[in-house]
Structure 1
Amino acid sequence: MAVIFAGDNQAFEMHGARFTALVSPKRGSTRQSVWRVELAPGAPATLHQLTDEEVFVIQSGKARVSIGGSVTEAGAGDSIVVPKDTDFSIQTVGDVPLAALVCFPVGGRARLADGSEFTPPWAE
């Protein structure tokens, strides 16, 4: 069993977003990574794909979500399931920052529009 204390969380900044690692292999997990993402109002949406399914649970704010070209809005309490190998972007709607918890399998990778892939450092 691993207890991960909030004071030990590490934050990363990328594409106008803040990612705070909560659970990852470096923190004792073997199958899942969990992080908190915060998107400021006006932060650009970054189109990308994932090599595995990703799940968001919105904690606060409102999001405009594009999954496979279909666009919808979601808010606090809503969940978003992003299928693997599908174009995806998310951005804040309105003046309130968006905050969500995100779950992604260990070993999953993000694929940017230029074809480059990487493992998010907050998921390692």
Structure 2
Amino acid sequence: MPIIQASSAPTFDLPNATFTGLAAPSRGAEETCVWKTRVHPGAEPGLHSFDHEEVLVVIAGAAVAVLDGVEHPVTVGDAIIVPAGVEFGLGNPHDEPFEAVVALPVGALAFMNGKSLVPPPAQ
């Protein structure tokens, strides 16, 4: 059973968020990808969808989850279940960072801005 040390987990930065790769095929996972998402204060939602269900568990802060255009406030301990094909994004109108742990099946494709890709933390 591979252990991914936090100190060696890869990070991926976007303007409004940082992703820390935990479990993925490149790190020994065969069925499930897991990463930590940190949404920076003041961030607007980066809308996207997946071809598989995505599950997020809030571990720090608060945010606004946008699912199919409807805004939902979320905070520590909440779970967000995003069905396949549903447009989703997280915005952080607060002064503190927001963090969630995300789980997604290996091989799931993201769709954003007319393009499809396997997100880097899931590779």
What is the TM-score normalised by the length of structure 1? Answer: 0.94
Q: Does 1:115 align with 2:114?
A: yes
User: How do 1:1-124 residues align onto structure 2 when only pairs under 5 Å count?
Assistant: 1-112=1-112, 114-124=113-123
Unaligned runs of 5+ in 2: none
SS of 2:26's equivalent in the other structure is helix
**Percent identical residues:** 35
RMSD in angstroms over aligned alpha carbons?
1.1
Per the TM alignment, residue 63 of structure 1 is displaced from its structure 2 partner at its CA by 1.1
Q: Deviations over 1:17-55 (max 9, x none)?
A: 100001111111000110011011112211111111111
Unaligned runs of 5+ in 1: none
Change (3 A) 1:20 1:46: same
Distance 2:41 2:101 in 1: 18
Deviates more, 1:89-98 or 1:16-25: 89-98
Per the TM alignment, residue 87 of structure 1 is displaced from its structure 2 partner at its CA by 1.1
Where has structure 1 moved over 3 Å in runs of 4 or more? none
Aligned residues: 123
Distance 1:39 1:76 in 2: 14
